[in-house]
Amino acid sequence: MTSTPPLDPRAFRSALGCFATGIAVITTLAPDGAPVGVTVNSFSSVSLDPPLVQFCLGRTAASFAAFSAAPSFVVNILAADQEELSGRFSRRDLDDRWSGVAVEPSASGVPVLSGCLARLECDREHLLDGGDHVIVLGRVRRLASREDGAPLLYFRGGYAQIA
């Protein structure tokens, strides 16, 4: 039996970067009630019936414990003019992420970011093993979306726009 040589991590990341994705900030509440948010581009729909979505979160992320324990979360799908929010919630340092950010509470109390293209309020269904990440599966309970605006995109390691 022949073995396959290991993939070069840089080549793997570069190849994956060819897949353009939208960007979302996932928000929840920590056990102490503090707001928590993280930028992701590994978000997708899973099922229409029942309405399920998923996102992936690194096991070493500072927000990992909060999302692992939280019963609910909100997917905030960012608009093209929200690049600053994407950067703010992608930093490893959790301090001052929320300073000056316009939010409103969801039905479950989880913060919803203002001005997003869409929001999906979810109950956490499952945490699934995904190697160095965990796959968070959520059931959508409530949603809202705008008819106008363009998405914030990520492509080949940087922000992109629809031409």
Distance, in Å, from the CA atom of 51 to the CA atom of 120, rounded to the nearest integer, reads 10
What tokens does 49 get? 């019936």
Question: Rounded to a whole number, what is the largest CA-CA distance in the chain?
Answer: 59
Structure confidence at residue 1 (pLDDT): 63
Nearest C-alpha neighbor of 37 from the set 29, 27, 50 = 27
pLDDT (tens place) for every residue of the chain, 163 residues total: 677 888 888 898 888 888 889 999 999 999 999 999 999 999 999 999 999 999 999 999 989 999 999 999 999 999 999 999 999 999 877 667 898 999 999 999 999 999 999 999 999 999 999 999 999 999 999 999 999 999 999 999 899 988 7
Distance, in Å, from the CA atom of 95 to the CA atom of 72, rounded to the nearest integer, reads 22
What tokens does 117 get? 């293209």
Sorted by sequence, the CB contacts under 8 Å of residue 87 that are 6+ apart come out as: 39
Q: Domain extents for the chain?
A: 21-146
Structure confidence at residue 3 (pLDDT): 76
Distance, in Å, from the CA atom of 7 to the CA atom of 103, rounded to the nearest integer, reads 42
Structure confidence at residue 50 (pLDDT): 97
Q: Which amino acid is at 131?
A: G
Name the class of domain 21-146.
mainly beta
Structure confidence at residue 12 (pLDDT): 85
Global pTM?
A: 0.92
